[in-house]
Amino acid sequence: MIVTHDVAGVRVVTLDNPPVNVLSFALCAELLPIIETASADAQVRAIVFTGAHEIFSGGADVNDFNSDPTPEMKTIRDVIAAMERSEKTLVAAIDGNALGGAFELALACDYRIATKRSHLAFPEIGLGLLPGAGGTQRLPRIVDVQAALQLMLKATRLTAADALANGILDEVVDGEIVEAGVALATREAGTKRRLSERRAMLRKGVSLAALPFVVSQAHKLVPPEENGGYAAHKLIDAVEAAVALPFKYGLARECRLFDELVRSKPSMALRHVFFAERELTKIPGLSEIQPQEVAKAGVIGGGTMGTGIAIAFADAGIPVTVVEPVDEQVERAKQTIFGMYAHQVQRGRLDQAEAWKRGQSIAFTQEYADLADCDLVVEAVFESMDVKREVFSKLDAVVKRSGILASNTSTLDIDEIASATTRAPQVLGMHFFAPANIMKLLEIVRGKQTSMQTLATAFAAGKKMRKVCVLSGNAFGFIGNRMLFDYAREAVFLAEEGVPPYRVDAVLKSFGFPMGPFAMFDLSGIDVAWHIAHARPGVMTGRTKIVDRLYEMKRFGQKTGAGYYTYDKSIGSGREPIRDESVEALFAQEAKRAGIAQRANVSDEEILQRCLYALVNAGAMLLEEGIALRAGDEDIVYIYGYGFPPYHGGPMWYADEVGVKNVYETILRFRKELGPHWEPSKLLSGKGALAHA
- Whether 171 sits among the annotated catalytic residues: the reply is no
Give the domain 297-474 fold. Rossmann fold (3.40.50)
pLDDT in the model for residue 692? 54
The answer to whether 124 is a known catalytic residue is yes
Report d(CA 409, CA 430) in Å as an integer.
8
Closest CA to 426 of 480, 477, 378: 378
Widest CA span of the chain, in angstroms? 92
* Residue 284 DSSP class: T
Tell me, what's the pLDDT at 693?
Answer: 47
The confidence score (pLDDT) of residue 572 equals: 81
Asked whether the predicted pLDDT for residue 601 surpasses 60, the reply is: yes
pLDDT for 540 = 64
Instruction: For the chain, give every domain's residue range.
Output: 2-262, 297-474, 481-692
Kindly report, residue by residue over 99-154, the tens digit of the pLDDT: 999 999 999 999 999 999 999 999 999 999 999 999 999 999 999 999 999 999 99
pLDDT computed for residue 71 by the predictor: 77
Q: Say which of 87, 124, 624, 657 is annotated catalytic.
A: 124
pTM equals 0.93
Q: What is the mean pLDDT of the chain?
A: 94
Count of CA atoms in the C-beta half-sphere (13 A) of 317: 4
The residue among 616, 608, 597 whose CA lies nearest residue 674 is 597
Task: Provide the CATH number for the domain formed by 481-692 in this structure.
Answer: 1.10.1040.50
Distinct helix (H) and strand (E) counts, the chain: 27, 17
Tell me the DSSP string of 619-633: HHHHHHHTSBS-HHH
Query: Which pLDDT tens digit goes with each residue over 440-497?
Result: 999 999 999 999 999 999 999 999 999 999 999 999 999 999 999 999 999 999 999 9
The set of residues, in sequence order, having a beta carbon less than 8 Å from that of 360 and lying 6+ positions away, is: none
**What are the pLDDT digits (tens) for 299-328?**
999 999 999 999 999 999 999 999 999 999
Which residues neighbour 457 within 8 Å (Cβ) at sequence distance 6 or greater? 291, 292, 294, 375, 376, 404
Answer positive or negative: Cα dihedral of 72, 78, 79, 82: negative
Sign of the dihedral through C-alpha 581, 586, 587, 589:
positive
Angle of helix 604-625 versus helix 631-642 axis, rounded to 10: 130
Angle at 517 between CA 512 and CA 521, to 5 degrees: 140
Rounded Cα distance between 273 and 649, Å, is: 6
Catalytic residue among 30, 54, 87, 104: 104
What distance, in Å, lies between the first and last C-alpha atoms of the chain?
34
User: Is the predicted pLDDT of residue 260 greater than 50, yes or no?
Assistant: yes
Q: Give the pLDDT score at 305.
A: 94
Contacts of 311 (CB under 8 A, 6+ apart): 337, 340, 358, 362, 436, 437
Strand, helix or coil for residue 133: coil
| CATH of range 2-262; options 3.40.640.10, 1.10.1840.10, 2.30.140.10, 3.90.226.10 | 3.90.226.10
Specify the higher pLDDT residue, 13 or 434: 13
**CA distances (Å), origin 628, targets 11, 333, 414, 684:** 52, 34, 16, 15
Angle of helix 480-496 versus helix 581-594 axis, rounded to 10: 90
Residue 138 to residue 239: CA distance in whole angstroms: 9
Residue 286 near residue 459, CB atoms below 8 Å: yes
Residue 414, Cβ neighbours under 10 Å: how many?
A: 27
Confidence of residue 371 (pLDDT cuts 50, 70, 90): very high
Cis peptide, bond prior to residue 223, ω within 30 of zero: no
Determine the pLDDT at residue 474.
96
Cβ atoms of residues 408 and 431 within 8 Å: yes
What tens digit of pLDDT does each residue of 625-681 get?
999 999 999 999 999 999 999 999 999 999 999 999 999 999 999 999 999 999 999
Q: Between 246 and 206, where is the model more confident?
A: 246
Query: In the predicted model, what is the mean pLDDT of residues 199-210?
Result: 83
Backbone angles phi, psi at 498, to 5 degrees: 110, 5
Question: Alpha-carbon distance 375 to 297, whole Å?
Answer: 6
Phi, psi of 413 (to 5 degrees): -70, 115
CA distances from residue 275 to 156, 272, 286, 349, 635 in whole angstroms, order as listed: 21, 5, 19, 29, 11
Radius of gyration of the chain (CA): 28
pLDDT at 146: 94
CB 114 within 8 A of CB 159: no
3-state helix/strand/coil string of 338-398: HHHHHHHHHCCCCCHHHHHHHHHCEEEECCHHHHCCCCEEEECCCCCHHHHHHHHHHHHHH
What is the spatial distance between Cα 546 and Cα 543, in angstroms, rounded to a whole number? 9
Q: Are 208 and 250 in contact (CB under 8 A)?
A: no
Between 162-171, 182-191, 202-211, 267-276, the lowest mean confidence (pLDDT) is in 202-211
Beta bridge partners of 50: 14
Number of neighbouring beta carbons within 10 Å of residue 262: 18
Cα separation, 136 vs 130, in Å, equals 8
